[in-house]
Structure 1
Amino acid sequence: MTGAAVFVALGVGIGAGFGVAGRLDGSSAAEHADEGHAEETGEEGLVALTPDQAIQAGVSIIAVQRGGGGSELKLPGRVAFAPGAEASVDAPLAGAVTQVHVGLGDRVGVGSPLITLRSPDGAASRADADAASATADAARAAERRERTLFEQGWISQARLDVTSAETRRAEAQLRAARARVGAFGAPGANGLTVVRSPINGIVTRISAAPGQVLHEEALQVAAVADPARTELVFEAPPAAAVLVRIGDRLDSTVAGSGGVSGVVTAIAPANANGVVIVRARPSGAAPPAGSVVSARILSGADAGALVVPVDAVQTVEGAPSVFVVEEGGFRARPVVTGRTADGRIEIISGLTGAERIAGPGAFLLKAELAKGEAEHGH
């Protein structure tokens, strides 16, 4: 629609409004009404257009939004697993894989078996532990016998002390052997070791197959992650270290889907490349880990502040004003404005937040209002 057509449409709307007012009952008062009388009865600051007429003329009708003001940063980022939500699982020792218990996407709990392998080192560690247990049992039995002889006066205190020391040494060796067996996944006497999941989650990677031989330099067998524990991670310029604060609200968008909001939880100092890592906790369900997101961070913003598009605020009679939809048309309502960010301006007072207003294209209503006031002034 051209500019001329816009103003023609607006003029038609206004004319229609006054036409309805003029078709009352044909009384002599209406027949003899002059321009001065019309000016007295007209409503100041009102543009008599219906919302449909305004839309046809190129004026957008929008709702007042909340959240704005402060400084703003637009940051690229991704959805990542939160600390502790992902585990890369290695076999505790070298050996041959005998069985794989899970597949990709399987849900597992803490201690769920992932794979079983047979390891000579595992069998040796179990044998060492069994031998250490037998040695400790023999040492304890010898100490009990020596203590009985000491109490009967047959041996000296020094000999009993030596026997007691041997018992303590045997018990220490047993603890070390058992710890080694535990570190190896508690293999059986045949060397079979079950590798288990350390966390609750979903299997995201399997890198072992039956018959595969795992060597000490390549022991990784699986990865498990908890999809419910994710966070938003963004890379920001050094200026973010000054503008962004923990607790700031963040709105992000995901390509091909809806948005996700969050709250900044951590800000790392700039690294060697001058990049500041900003981490945020999602306020609701987040996209899957690995999703690419872009964020708009409102630093120091008031989440409850009223905001409107910058184009919605027009200067009427020297005051910032917003055209509010009312019965009978659009009324210019004076407002007090605040900070501006990303094409939106904060409204400090003058609106309640429940109004429907003229957004982009509001300048057409301002022009029509000025036109009507000029005509009444003649």
Structure 2
Amino acid sequence: MNPGAAWHGGGSAGPRRFEAAGKPGRAFWIGAMGLGAALLVGLGVLSMVLPKQVMNAVMPVFMIVFLGGYLVFFVFGLRGKKVLLDVHGDRVVLDEGRGGEFPFSGAALSLWHMASVGVDMGTVLHLSGGGRRLLIGGRDHRPGAGLTMSAPPVDSVDVFLPADAFDALLACVSSATVAPRAASGPWRCALLPSTISPRNLLATMAPWLGSVVLTGVVSMALAALGGLDSGLGRMIALPLLGVILVAGLVLTVTRSMRKGPALEIEVDPRELRLRDPGTGRVLAAAPPSAIATARGVYRVYSRGAVFDYATLALRIPGHEDVILYVQDTRFGWGDAVQRGSAPAYVVGPPDWITLVEMFGARPFLVVRGS
């Protein structure tokens, strides 16, 4: 899997076909909501026309049949569909013309952002034609230093390709369309605060938890002073307590949306540097050969499901272990590894692949469903 190479342009030598994966469209979600509404309406109609004894007998059968069909609908719908991308000269033909034609003129590149986590999950080619736009994602693709990201990041795409096929598609685009730039400078990787670390989760939830505690303290104080004994006192207390809770909720949501990097890794041929992204100060530095690594797995239990995330600990001399992970269960280790400590940092799939290759762990990496 190619984490992203500098692109050299050159244009297309002839027609070429790519098989992309499409995500569920608007029709799927409309259908899902329609089926849910049909369930509620169906239950209401049955309860009105059937006697209670019959309803009690029919209800289990109705629920099993409906929920079974609903599950099948979701499983097949979320798998997405295969979409054909045919490159003909200076344009992409989508799904043999049924989806339209999109010329390369005006094409641009951007990062594919995972909004819920704050990391990048690939690169996106922006095309437009006939008043419509087409966003083609390169999953796990890391843009080389020679590619210019001229479009703003997006968090969803219309179709996506694996990284190597996306590189091949970029090679079909004229160099006059997506202008390359000279590669320069060290390789950098932003480490964002982990979304599964108990410590980070507690820090994010602190305003809400604090507002709940403060509400309890204020309520007890008002009760002790007799402020809740009268109607007027309760009319004043309830809005006050509501404001405290709303303020805690707003602060919690605001903090969860601020996804700035906590650390930054910078690598050149001579050394790896760990920087504070806020001040630019170097916290630790060492040649890559002097940095030991430890592979592991961290298990998360959520709503009755179990998720195993591959982790990588970087032991940089002069600094505590930097434990990071990729929030994508497609990635794992092919051999037996120990369960590790909760990772403090998260990276996107392109950076994860690059780091794994950089420290010689690529032979152990397993990518499921690719």
- What's the TM-score once normalised by structure 2's chain length? 0.22
- What's the TM-score once normalised by structure 1's chain length? 0.21
Greater relative CO, 1 or 2 (CA 8 Å, sep 6+): 1
Q: As a proportion of its length, which structure holds more strand?
A: 1
Task: Return the index of the structure with the highest Cα Rg.
Answer: 1
